[in-house]
Structure 1
Amino acid sequence: MASTSTSQTPSNIISPYYENWLIQLQYFLEKLNAISSSYGGDDEEENRSNELVTQVLDHYQDYYREKFNSTNRDVFLLVSPPWYTSLEKTFLWIAGFKPSTLFPTINYSIGSELTTEQCENLKRLKAETKREEKVIEKGMAKVQEKVAAPPIFELMKRGGTVVDGEASELESVIDGMKHSMMSMVETAEHLRGSTVKNILDILRQKQAVKLLAAVAQFHLQARKLGLQMDIQSAKRINEDFIN
């Protein structure tokens, strides 16, 4: 008897992983809040909080690694993940979070606890981060301009019909565009990682715990609200179809 199997798409693979990842993030959020509320600053607490910060950062790194592996580094899936809600997608910047968005999070979560020196260091880091973001955005814009260049533009004009001799040329152009986009994504990932590291180098241990808690809280709330919004949107579409 012939066996039947369901092909696994990247989205089918990563969606359950992402759901479990969010459950684990909720667990880390509870631990971050618990340490933050009882933080006394002794050596034992310092060690525990340092270990927890490392675990949380590793948790985020695991997700980014899984995302790249499960999609087989398909850049089109990375920049618009089908396992995200519509709301979560609005926060994406080149396949991830925009590094400079961490600074407003710092302001509302621990802004009152920062020293003058920390504020100055963060101000300089923010300016440097924004400069690097602009460089990446310009690079991505140049890649996207290739969509309007031959042979892609000519293909679009004909409604997507490929004529003899164009298939290999078109494939070559698209592969080149995907390679360039992936280069931009990898550069953005590097900036995200370096920004987080530089911020944590400036902050004290208790401040780092509070910041990571605020980031996790935002991530989880965006997911929750996004699911609610998508369900409501689907209901409206069904009602309009029925009526």
Structure 2
Amino acid sequence: MADAGERTDTSTDIDADERNHRLERGQTAVVAASDSSDRSKDKTGDQKTLRRLAQNREAARKSRLRKKAYVQQLESSRLKLTQLEQELQRARQQGIFISSTGDQSHTISANGAKSFDIEYGRWLEEHNRQVNELRAAVNAHASDTDLRTIVDGITTQFDEIFKIKGVAAKADVFHILSGMWKTPAERCFMWLGGFRPSEILKLLSNQLEPLTEQQVMGLCDLQQSSQQAEDALSQGMEALQQSLAETLAGSLGPSGSSGNVANYMGQMAMAMGKLGTLEKFLRQADNLRQQTLQQMHQRLTTRQSARAVLTIHDYFSRLRALSSLWLARPRE
């Protein structure tokens, strides 16, 4: 019995020790698992931080590249502008563009389109200045003599633009006829490279009252004659276009390709000759505009002529303003 009791006590001690060892191992495992979880979380957080830092560095790099490209673009634009200014200065020194003094109608070179656009801009700036001077004189109730001097100066300036257009048409008649030197809204109402004289007279009919009966009859006759001349020129232009189309079509073979070389060259030579008529139509249209303005002033008093000039100017100014509003409209 004593031996059995000793064995029982020994067994009990062994079981207790075993439980203690198991408990210690369990606690160690829990601690190790907890440490592993913490390290995993720390590792995941570090990866997110590194990824975010990498993204920030990439965004900063792209931003620096965009800024560098923008600066380079500005520098390139500045160099181009400087180059254009130098070329313009050399061109002026060589007499390519119309000078501010002398006979302007003989100084445009073969570079007609660009030269004309620049000269038209200068002409328009001077025209605006003279019209503002006239407006101030009208508002200040200046004398008829002073008003007549200003109106005559504006009329003379219109004569100058017709001369400049004639010279430019010799270099590039298509540019003048297309009206690319005008704003889009102005081009919408263009006729043979300019305004319709009859439309201008219609515009003025309700703006110059009171008119005498003789003035009304004179303006009506002028409007009718202008309309008839416009119709004749328009019909001539249509006939030219039709003839030109038939000439070009005649040089095509049955399959639509060019026929024999001799026939092709002959037809193209005929077409070139007909294109030369465009300059004639443009010159006749400008002559009609010029004569209509002159005859209009002859039928009006000095103050009526001044109001007519202001009305015409305001009409075309509104067309230019309309073009600016249209180009700046919001687009979806």
Deviation at 1:61, TM superposition (A): 2.0
2:322 to 198, 214, 225: 225
Percentage of pairs with the same residue: 19
Question: What does 1:196-207 align with in structure 2 at a 5 Å threshold?
Answer: 196-207=293-304
Which residues of 2 match residues 93-112 of structure 1 at below 5 A?
Answer: 93-110=191-208, 112=209
1:67 aligns with 2:165: yes
Number of the residue aligned with 1:177: 274
1:223, 1:139 → 2: CA distance? 30
Aligned partner (choices 231, 246, 255) of residue 134 of structure 1? 231
The match for 2:221 among 109, 124, 141 is 124
Amino acid at match of 2:315: F
Q: After the TM superposition, which parts of structure 1 deviate over 6 Å for at least 4 consecutive aligned residues?
A: 4-8, 156-160
* Residue matched to 2:120: 18
CA apart distance, 1:60: 1.8
| Aligned-partner SS, 2:261 | coil
Uncovered stretches (5+) of structure 2, i.e. residues with no partner:
1-85, 92-109
TM-score (norm 1): 0.80
Q: Which amino acid aligns with 1:182?
A: E
- Unaligned 5+ segments in structure 1 are none
CA RMSD of aligned residues (A): 3.1
Bigger radius of gyration among the two = 2
**Residues 1:154 and 1:171: Cα distance change in structure 2 (over 3 Å):** closer
SS in 1 for 2:207: helix
1:12–1:228 Cα change, 3 Å: farther
CA contact (8 A) 2:251 2:263 kept: no
Number of paired residues? 228
CA distances 1:50-90 after superposition (whole Å, capped 9, x unpaired): 11111111222222222232343532122103222221211
TM-score, normalization: structure 2?
A: 0.60
Distance 1:74 1:230 in 2: 27
- For residues 153 and 5 of structure 1, the distance between their equivalents in structure 2, rounded to whole angstroms, comes to 44
Q: Is the Cα–Cα contact under 8 Å of residues 147 and 302 in structure 2 kept in the other structure?
A: yes
Change in Cα spacing, 1:38 to 1:163, as seen in structure 2 (3 Å) is farther
Q: Select which of 122, 137, 152 maps to 1:35.
A: 137
Matches within 5 A, 1:134-213: 134-152=231-249, 154-155=251-252, 164-166=261-263, 168-213=265-310
- Work out which structure has the larger RCO, using CA pairs closer than 8 Å and 6 or more positions apart in sequence: 1
